[in-house]
Chains A and B, each alone.
Chain A
Amino acid sequence: MRFAIMILLLNFNTFSKDREPAQYSDQLQIVTKSLLKKENSKKLQIMNEFLSWMEDNNSEQIKLLISSDISDDLKKQINENRITYFYLKPLKDVFLDKNQIPTKPQCSKLIDDVKYNDQMGKPEQASLSDRGKSLIRLLTNFCMK
């Protein structure tokens, strides 16, 4: 399984300005499934690899944002990716960089933060966005089960 994820991630990592950027939302779903029924050490490994991959992609993609030769649509997609990464950055900074899995109460707070930021600037009756739901599923599989 790990090999399959690595292949998939490496595949997307060859992104250039001529290709569509890897959609983090697609990767979220794959990684979320891969976390199920894994030992903690394995979960940490998967998440570290996933966040590193996102970070590497961001480093490449941010350069495109300051160039004038890519379309607004592509810039929008890159921005969407970056937002998804920044939702997970607190998890990386506080826990993954120390090779730690959050406790359930800590995990619950991370999930609450996702919900909170996802709801900001939206009407009362708006349900969670697909991104918000995917992030919550990822965090649930990572540190609530």
Chain B
Amino acid sequence: MSLVIVLMFQIVTFVYGGDASSYNKCISRGSSPLLIEDLRANSSKDDSFYNAYINRFQFACSSCSNSSIVEMAKNLKDTVEPKIKRQCVEQSMSKLHYITNRSRMLCSSNKGKATFRKTIDGKNDFCINNEVVDYVHWSVNEALTCINSLTDNPVSPEITFMKLNRESKFGFFIQYWGGIGIGQLTTSAINGINNRGKAIIDTAKNSTECKSFHELLNYNMDYAKVKNDKGEDIDVVRWCQLVNYGEGLGRNLFYSLALMLHHRDNKSFGVGTRLRRLGINDEEKINYFTLVSYGRNGLVQAAEIIDKMTYRIGVKKNNKLKDNQKLAKQIGAKEIQAMPMKEFIALLRKESEYVNENFKSLEDFYIAHNYASKNKAADKVFEESICVSQ
């Protein structure tokens, strides 16, 4: 295993211009080496998800054993097939020190004892270097590839980037009572998949594209008894299972993306099922409507907003339909189906606070990294998919 790490280091050193110091340099304001040290120590442990990452590098190497290092690096790049661009993951993680109100949590395994670190300002935060970015970037795209192998309608990489940027800035070790890890998951969301969305897990276990997740999905999750804000006993998923370097990161990403499939495609209550019945089958719009269900009141909120938006738009089209709600909603649904995305998103942002917050974070990201000026950021979101490779 250590030979592989050395080899990896040689490859990435080449990719990053042969300058080891630039690869190891902190790209975030934090300077604590704790995260990187733990990540390296973890490479010698038996973790199925981290091993899958290491094996990918081994594959890149074995497929070019007689070639030059240039070929090796090229093959490495080809095997990763990124959907979400590395540059955007790096830029998002470089601003992790702005998340000041949440703890950082380090776990070495599913059952490992957690090390907590409270960050008051960037100085006390973890150093994020290219080694960490590479691993997180691979993990996110591996999860997208897995989840999208389970459906004919891909989970949008654009929405995935927007959501992870907003939830955690890709900091898989971010933790507070409001959410755990890279997707800021809660026990409720985990249980939703484990109980009602179990078919997604079962299908993933048979998908070759989900091979990196097979072992972590077979693991029976452990719960802890805690008191809620009323002093009642509740069962909470033990956090290390959602944040540890290996399976914790993989599990968190899998469940975060599986939740989208669960809420969108469930035959009895799915947002997509509801929209298709109304004649709205634009997959991009269905994905954005589904995003509503990650916020307060979940699927109920999504159903209410669909009802209200179709009516409002139907009446706007023909004011005489004010008292004929059924027809107004039918006309409204047709209008939504035909509506340009930019107009649709503007309306959805007015209806859903959660969707609006996600777009606001994306606009802030565009401004912070000079992709757009302050007054152009809202439009830029629709001009090109800056963080997704086509």
Q: Which of A9-17, A21-29, A58-66, A137-145 contacts B (4 or more CB under 8 A)?
A: A58-66
* A118 to B: closest C-beta gap in Å: 7
* B197 to A: closest C-beta gap in Å: 11
Is the CB–CB distance between A120 and B298 below 8 Å? yes
Would you call B279 an interface residue if the criterion is a C-beta within 8 Å of the partner chain's C-beta atoms?
no
A119→B191 CA distance, assembly (Å): 11
Is the CB–CB distance between B178 and A123 below 8 Å? yes
Is the CB–CB distance between B311 and A62 below 8 Å? yes
Q: Assuming A83-B300, A113-B269, is B322 touching A124 (CB within 8 A)?
A: no
Is the CB–CB distance between B298 and A127 below 8 Å? no
Would you call A121 an interface residue if the criterion is a C-beta within 8 Å of the partner chain's C-beta atoms?
yes
Would you call B230 an interface residue if the criterion is a C-beta within 8 Å of the partner chain's C-beta atoms?
yes
Would you call B380 an interface residue if the criterion is a C-beta within 8 Å of the partner chain's C-beta atoms?
no
Is the CB–CB distance between B304 and A86 below 8 Å? yes
Chain A contacts of B232 at CB under 8 A? 127
Residue of B179, B236, B301 near A83 (CB, 8 A) is: B301
Q: Which of B29-37, B90-98, B288-296, B370-378 contacts A (4 or more CB under 8 A)?
A: B288-296
Residue of B179, B188, B195 near A119 (CB, 8 A) is: B188
Chain A contacts of B115 at CB under 8 A? none
Residue of A63, A89, A115, A120 near B296 (CB, 8 A) is: A120
Chain B contacts of A66 at CB under 8 A? 311-312, 315-316, 322
Is the CB–CB distance between B297 and A120 below 8 Å? yes
Would you call B186 an interface residue if the criterion is a C-beta within 8 Å of the partner chain's C-beta atoms?
yes
Is the CB–CB distance between B177 and A117 below 8 Å? no
Is the CB–CB distance between B192 and A116 below 8 Å? yes
Is the CB–CB distance between A65 and B312 below 8 Å? yes
Would you call A82 an interface residue if the criterion is a C-beta within 8 Å of the partner chain's C-beta atoms?
yes
Is the CB–CB distance between A116 and B308 below 8 Å? no
A117→B262 CA distance, assembly (Å): 13
Would you call B228 an interface residue if the criterion is a C-beta within 8 Å of the partner chain's C-beta atoms?
yes
Would you call B226 an interface residue if the criterion is a C-beta within 8 Å of the partner chain's C-beta atoms?
yes
Chain B contacts of A19 at CB under 8 A? none
Is the CB–CB distance between A62 and B325 below 8 Å? yes
* A34 to B: closest C-beta gap in Å: 24
Chain B contacts of A4 at CB under 8 A? none
Would you call A1 an interface residue if the criterion is a C-beta within 8 Å of the partner chain's C-beta atoms?
no
A65→B236 CA distance, assembly (Å): 39
A59→B308 CA distance, assembly (Å): 11
A119→B229 CA distance, assembly (Å): 13
Would you call A98 an interface residue if the criterion is a C-beta within 8 Å of the partner chain's C-beta atoms?
no
Scoring A89, A122, A124, A127 by chain B CB atoms within 10 A of each residue's CB, the highest score goes to A124
Would you call A41 an interface residue if the criterion is a C-beta within 8 Å of the partner chain's C-beta atoms?
no
Chain B contacts of A65 at CB under 8 A? 308, 312
Chain A contacts of B192 at CB under 8 A? 116
Q: Mark B225-253, 1 if CB is under 8 A from A, else 0.
A: 01111101010100000000000000000
Would you call B189 an interface residue if the criterion is a C-beta within 8 Å of the partner chain's C-beta atoms?
yes
Residue of B with least CB distance to A79 = B304
Residue of A with least CB distance to B296 = A121
- Which residues of B291-329 are within 8 A (CB) of A? 293-301, 303-304, 307-308, 311-312, 315-316, 322-323, 325
Residue of B186, B195, B230, B300 near A127 (CB, 8 A) is: B230
Would you call B187 an interface residue if the criterion is a C-beta within 8 Å of the partner chain's C-beta atoms?
yes
Chain B contacts of A124 at CB under 8 A? 177-180, 186-187, 226, 234, 236
Chain A contacts of B228 at CB under 8 A? 125-127
* B186 to A: closest C-beta gap in Å: 5
Residue of B with least CB distance to A59 = B325
Residue of B with least CB distance to A109 = B196
Would you call A87 an interface residue if the criterion is a C-beta within 8 Å of the partner chain's C-beta atoms?
yes
Is the CB–CB distance between B296 and A122 below 8 Å? yes
Is the CB–CB distance between A123 and B322 below 8 Å? no
- Which residues of A62-103 are within 8 A (CB) of B? 62-63, 65-66, 79, 82-83, 86-87, 89-90, 94
Q: What are 28 pairs between A and B in contact, CB < 8 Å?
A: A62-B311, A63-B323, A66-B311, A66-B316, A66-B322, A86-B307, A94-B268, A115-B188, A117-B297, A117-B298, A118-B297, A118-B298, A119-B186, A120-B188, A120-B297, A121-B294, A121-B298, A122-B296, A123-B178, A123-B179, A124-B187, A124-B226, A124-B236, A125-B177, A125-B226, A125-B227, A126-B229, A127-B228
Apart from A65-B312, A116-B191, list 20 A-B contacts with CB within 8 A.
Answer: A63-B322, A65-B308, A82-B308, A86-B304, A90-B268, A112-B195, A116-B192, A118-B298, A120-B293, A120-B297, A121-B295, A121-B354, A122-B178, A122-B188, A123-B178, A123-B179, A124-B187, A125-B177, A125-B227, A125-B234
A interface residue numbers (CB < 8 A to B) = 59, 62-63, 65-66, 79, 82-83, 86-87, 89-90, 94, 112-113, 115-127
B interface residue numbers (CB < 8 A to A) = 176-180, 186-189, 191-192, 195-196, 226-230, 232, 234, 236, 268-269, 293-301, 303-304, 307-308, 311-312, 315-316, 322-323, 325, 354
Q: Which 5 A-B pairs have the closest CB atoms?
A: A120-B298, A119-B188, A117-B298, A127-B230, A121-B296
